[in-house]
Amino acid sequence: MERINKRKNNQIREVKITRNYTRYAEGSVLIEMGETKVICTASIEDRVPPFLRNTGTGWINAEYSMLPRATHQRKIRESSRGKIDGRTQEIQRLIGRAIRSVVDLGKIGERTIWVDCDVIQADGGTRTASITGAFVAVVDAIYKLYKSKVIKEIPIRNFVSAISVGIVNKTHMLDLCYEEDSNAQVDMNIIMTDAGEFVEVQGTGEERPFSKEDLNLLLELGEIGNKQLIKEQRRALGEIADEILGMEYGDEVVIATNNAHKLEEIGAILKDFDYTIYSLKDVDLGGIEIVEDGKTFEHNALIKARTIAKKTNLIAISDDSGLEVDAIGKKPGVYSARFAGENATDEENREKLLKMMKNIPMSQRSARFVSAIAVVFPDGKEFVVRGTCEGFIGFEEKGKNGFGYDSLFIVNEYDKTFGEIPSSVKNSISHRANSLKLMKEEFKKRVIR
């Protein structure tokens, strides 16, 4: 059976989050989920309930209410009736718990944040919309405290949002509108964080019991919905969201090297890396020159990646590498590319090295390749790792594979030069293979996806 407005079963309604909707509250948000519209405000009060006095800890309290004509038929105001009903009571406690679950109350001082959720139009999912909107209002209110230096850090651990799911006519569906909700056999509200964890699940088999399979399907729908809602919250909060959760970096990286051989090797080694990889040819650099004047491989790698990240606004990955030959004081080291002079060719560099090593016996020809890989993110965060590969310098060039000093470098494991072994083997044992492996491990820890 078709859903109202031809919505897919795993599709949420159009979401609109408008910040600064009213003027006086520290946080004020209008959230629209389809035809459901809720105004959520967050107000800061400089005192706490008695049970928290002199503890240094703050509190968050929520109230929820519906305007008389938010519904099809006019509903009498609770204030006119003189008391709030059980449903309202339950909903405002739910909202309070949800918001408190992601805020470090110990870090807001002895303050109460009053969350007010007022439904101006109800078409199902008003409590979940209230939570999603209230969170954004609370972020705004807390951020104001932070910006005015009243608190030292932003005490928000995670984002939180909520969505309804249910079974209607035997169909599992996401984000029920009023009509669907009133025909639902099973009805559930799912509150989750940006980390994909659950804060609360309220599920009721109103017309029939439900199975574990049903539950799993509904949880999956809830996850889909909440992921999207948190995206919308992020979008609404812009840079404030980045400051709280860290920046989202997208799925594109640029390899910051002018060396086609390196690019090829890096591409091959990173073929299991789950990002779109660009080279410097794919991005517009407008003729910049990078001066590699660092004293270490790490420093030079950072210089290259920083420049390219800044220029492209993409994640930049660079390699600075070279050869350390023990008999000549770890030369050429960071000067490997310009060993025989500023614009030296690979051939000239090899020639110079062979000459210098002419009278050095086999036992003293140990050497290693070093590769430092730097990763710089568009927001300036960065890290650098190092990989090495041990071997020794031959008395003559051997093999045509590879580039640079490959035909002179006899790798211990194979007793052959990198010029003699296939690139697939080099790419599994080389300094670059080792550094990029470390890079991938470190990279995973840094990005939110």
Which residues does 6 contact at the CB level (< 8 Å), separation at least 6? none
CA 222 – CA 239 distance, rounded (Å):
26
Which residues does 212 contact at the CB level (< 8 Å), separation at least 6? none
Find residue 119's DSSP bridge partners. 38, 66
The verdict on 427 binding ligand Y43 (CB under 6 A) reads no
The verdict on 434 binding ligand Y43 (CB under 6 A) reads no
The verdict on 419 binding ligand Y43 (CB under 6 A) reads no
x/- site string to ligand Y43, residues 18 to 37, per CB under 6 A?
A: --------------------
**If you write DSSP's letter for every residue of 100-161 in order, what string do you get?**
HTTB-GGGS-S-EEEEEEEEEE-SS-HHHHHHHHHHHHHHHHHHHHHHTTSSSS--B---EE
Exactly one of 63, 78, 252, 292 binds ligand Y43 (CB under 6 A); that residue is 292
The verdict on 420 binding ligand Y43 (CB under 6 A) reads no
Q: Is 191 helix (H, G, I), strand (E, B) or coil?
A: strand
The verdict on 232 binding ligand Y43 (CB under 6 A) reads no
Q: Is 52 helix (H, G, I), strand (E, B) or coil?
A: helix
The listed partner (Mg ion, ligand Y43, none) that binds 402, CB under 5 to 8 Å by sort, is: ligand Y43
User: CB of 160 within 8 A of CB of 199?
Assistant: yes
* Shortest distance, position 402 Cβ to ligand Y43, whole Å: 5
The verdict on 257 binding ligand Y43 (CB under 6 A) reads yes
Nearer to ligand Y43, 65 or 388 (CB): 388
* Shortest distance, position 306 Cβ to ligand Y43, whole Å: 13
* Shortest distance, position 344 Cβ to Mg ion, whole Å: 12
The verdict on 404 binding ligand Y43 (CB under 6 A) reads yes
Number of helices and strands (H, E) in the chain? 11, 17
CA 64 – CA 384 distance, rounded (Å):
50
| Residue 104 known to be catalytic | no
With CA atoms as reference, report the closest residue to 265 among 108, 426, 380: 426
72 marked as binding residue: no
Tokens of 336: 């490997």
Using CB under 5 A as the binding criterion, the count of chain residues that bind Mg ion stands at 1
* Shortest distance, position 277 Cβ to ligand Y43, whole Å: 15
Stretch that binds Mg ion, among 35-43, 272-280, 335-343, 409-417 (CB under 5 A): 335-343
Tokens of 246: 């860290």
* Shortest distance, position 384 Cβ to ligand Y43, whole Å: 13
Residue carrying structure tokens 């991005």: 283
Q: Which of residues 301-360 bind ligand Y43 (CB under 6 A)?
A: 319-322, 336-337, 349
Binding site for Mg ion (CB under 5 A): 337
Can you say which residues are annotated as belonging to the binding site for substrate? 257-262, 321, 403-406, 426, 431-432
Q: Report the binding-site residues for phosphate.
A: 87, 125-127
Binding site for ligand Y43 (CB under 6 A): 257-259, 262, 292, 319-322, 336-337, 349, 369, 402-406, 418, 430, 432
